[in-house]
């Protein structure tokens, strides 16, 4: 079962979050952090996918700070629109919303985060600022946040053909966080997102497999070390 529910941040801001329950006893919880396109059909599908793997999954609608119900597609005008919304948000407010979402699912066990694009960078920030057990970053501009240091294990997925994140930036992240688990794919930005032209099913499948192994170890307590 998955549906939108209303939750509240500690500053009193009420916002929507897409909450997907696991089948049976949860193995832990996953905080799914949106791209700049809102909690659209793709992010809802990703959230449901983690629930199907046995995790309570939640995707907070971070753009509700601006206006409720923002859902965008992937055309150039929508990309520009989403970037504009992102720039209006204050990082401290986004962290409040992420913290509220973590609090909602904490009774399911250990919580991990996974974010895509802008959400990937926010997943890194969450690893540095929030009480989570691990974090996964999909093609996030983490180089902008290297003044922060993760307090939990982090796995990174980057595309070698990503025009918006040069490999020199990936090198900076790896130098700043050598303890991280880094993976690169012969793919472009957004390779995990089916509606995008840059979708790469092989890279997406391999990254998902690695992500699930990572969560199984750090959230569900599987003995196999993630690779």
Catalytic residues, which ones?
A: 117, 162, 189
CA–CA gap between residue 163 and residue 137 (Å, rounded): 17
Phi, psi dihedral angles at 42 (to 5 degrees): -65, -50
Contact 85, 70 (CB under 8 A): yes
Give how far Cα 142 sits from Cα of 1, 30, 118, 158, Å: 33, 20, 9, 11
Beta strands (DSSP E) in the chain are 2-8, 14-20, 29-33, 56-60, 111-116, 134-138, 154-159, 181-185
Nearest CA to 45 among 199, 215, 189, 161?
A: 199
* Cβ–Cβ < 8 Å for 28, 220: yes
Q: How far apart are CA 217 and CA 67, in angstroms?
A: 37
């Amino acid at each position: 079962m998955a549906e939108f529910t209303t939750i509240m941040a500690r500053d009193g801001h009420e916002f929507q979050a897409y909450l997907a329950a696991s089948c049976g006893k949860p193995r832990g919880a996953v905080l799914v952090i949106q791209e700049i396109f809102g909690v659209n059909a793709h992010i809802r599908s990703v959230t449901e996918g983690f629930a199907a793997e046995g995790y309570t999954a939640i995707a907070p609608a971070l753009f509700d700070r601006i206006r409720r119900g923002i859902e965008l597609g992937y055309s150039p005008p929508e990309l520009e629109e989403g970037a504009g919304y992102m720039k209006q948000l204050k990082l401290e407010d986004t962290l409040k919303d992420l913290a509220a979402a973590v609090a909602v699912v904490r009774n399911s066990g250990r919580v991990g985060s996974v974010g895509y694009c802008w959400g990937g960078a926010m997943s890194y920030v969450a690893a540095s600022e929030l009480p989570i057990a691990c974090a996964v970053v999909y093609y996030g501009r983490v180089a902008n946040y290297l003044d922060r240091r993760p307090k939990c294990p982090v796995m990174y997925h980057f595309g070698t053909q990503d025009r918006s994140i040069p490999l020199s930036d990936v090198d900076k992240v790896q130098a700043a966080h050598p303890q991280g688990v880094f993976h690169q794919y012969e793919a472009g930005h957004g390779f995990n997102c089916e509606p995008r032209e840059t979708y790469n099913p092989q890279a997406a499948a391999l990254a998902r497999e690695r992500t699930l192994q990572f969560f199984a170890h750090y959230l569900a307590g599987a003995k196999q070390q993630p690779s």
